[in-house]
Homo-oligomer: A and B are copies of this chain.
Amino acid sequence: MSRPTIAAVARAAGVSVASVSRVLNGLPATGEMTERVRRAVQELGYVPDARARSLKVGRTFQLTLAVADVGNPVYVTMMRAVEEVVSAAGYRLVVTTTGRDVVDEVALVRGMARGYADGLVISPLRVDDDLIKSIRECEVPVVVAGNVPARAGVDTVRANSPKGIRLAVDHLVARGRRRIAFLNGPADTVPGTARAKGFADALKAHDLHPAATAEAADFTFPAGRAAAPRLPAAGKLDAVICANDLLAVGVMHELAANGLRVPEDVAVVGMDDSELAEQSFPPLTSVNLGSAERGRRAAELLLARIEDSTRTPRRIVVQPSLSVRRSTP
């Protein structure tokens, strides 16, 4: 009736539970013993209980990736990269959503503390002292895919979005655009602040003034559409850089609705270079912030720290590049 335990297997095979455990874990045993155990396992359809095992050995062989919004295509890139690395190392990856609130993230990290997974990669949208504290106190290794202060004393891998925006601005200027606007996501988020400053600096480097800046309610497509009308009329602007691809696609929809052509009337640049960038129409020029590489390195950092919890935290910065497509001239 109930699920077979290791004891049932031992009974069926006429050996001790210890022997069953050994065979299952590949420890030395005679061929005879191995054979009997295998047969019993087969017959009973025995599968070891992951909880009991991990309670004993202290590891779950599960790793968690926590992202803010599963609907954001940048996370699928990152997810795939993380998955690849951790599964090659023999771990299962589970993905959870943090939701948009910091308290959710804190709760997640706290809960992680005991027994859910051996490690956590978290990509937080907002960072506050509580979150940093919960990360510091977390019982399992945490690596942050994003930007947290060095005092957090945690492995991080982040993008260089100011430099990325600089690439976008350089590109637009080289193509003769001067009236460049910026559509940001919420400025109180980690990416939001970095990108706002990056835009300001990049324009300054070219002795240009922002044609406009606006802020969307969040990093989603509908927010992009909704925010687009807050940008100035087309005559005042010949290019707009958006804080991510979803916003950019939203803006392109609004432009089209107003009869404007991309890139002839207005050039549009996104950020993240997610799958959506090539799927959009016209295909979107986008700042590649290295999401795949960030995922990969974050996973590697996590595995390394699981191996050796004493190594000093590393802070990796992944360099951006620009994927030029048809939304810019």
Using a CB–CB distance below 8 Å, which chain A residues touch chain B?
A: 3, 45, 47-55, 60, 62, 64, 70-71, 73, 76, 79-80, 83, 92-97, 110-111, 113-116, 137, 139, 221, 246, 249-250, 252-253, 256, 275-276, 278-281, 283
- Are A115 and B50 in touch, CB under 8 angstroms? yes
Chain B residues positioned under 8 Å from A54 (CB to CB): 51
Chain B residues positioned under 8 Å from A137 (CB to CB): 45
- Are B249 and A139 in touch, CB under 8 angstroms? no
Chain B residues positioned under 8 Å from A256 (CB to CB): 281
Q: A54-B51, A221-B275, A221-B278 are in contact. Are A97 and B115 (CB under 8 A)?
A: no
Q: A47-B110, A116-B50, A279-B280 are in contact. Are A71 and B80 (CB under 8 A)?
A: yes
Nearest chain-B residue to A111 (Cβ)? B47
Chain B residues positioned under 8 Å from A49 (CB to CB): 55, 114-115
- Are B70 and A60 in touch, CB under 8 angstroms? no
Chain B residues positioned under 8 Å from A253 (CB to CB): 279, 281, 283
In the assembled complex, how far is the CB of residue A150 from the closest CB belonging to chain B, in whole angstroms?
A: 23
- Cα of A280 to Cα of B250 in the assembled complex, Å: 10
Which of A53, A64, A114 has the most CB atoms of chain B within a 10 A radius of its CB? A114
Chain B residues positioned under 8 Å from A94 (CB to CB): 64, 94-96
In the assembled complex, how far is the CB of residue A4 from the closest CB belonging to chain B, in whole angstroms?
A: 10
Residue of B3, B97, B114, B275 near A114 (CB, 8 A) is B3
Chain B residues positioned under 8 Å from A79 (CB to CB): 70, 97
Nearest chain-B residue to A275 (Cβ)? B71
Chain B residues positioned under 8 Å from A249 (CB to CB): 279
Chain B residues positioned under 8 Å from A70 (CB to CB): 70, 76, 79-80, 95
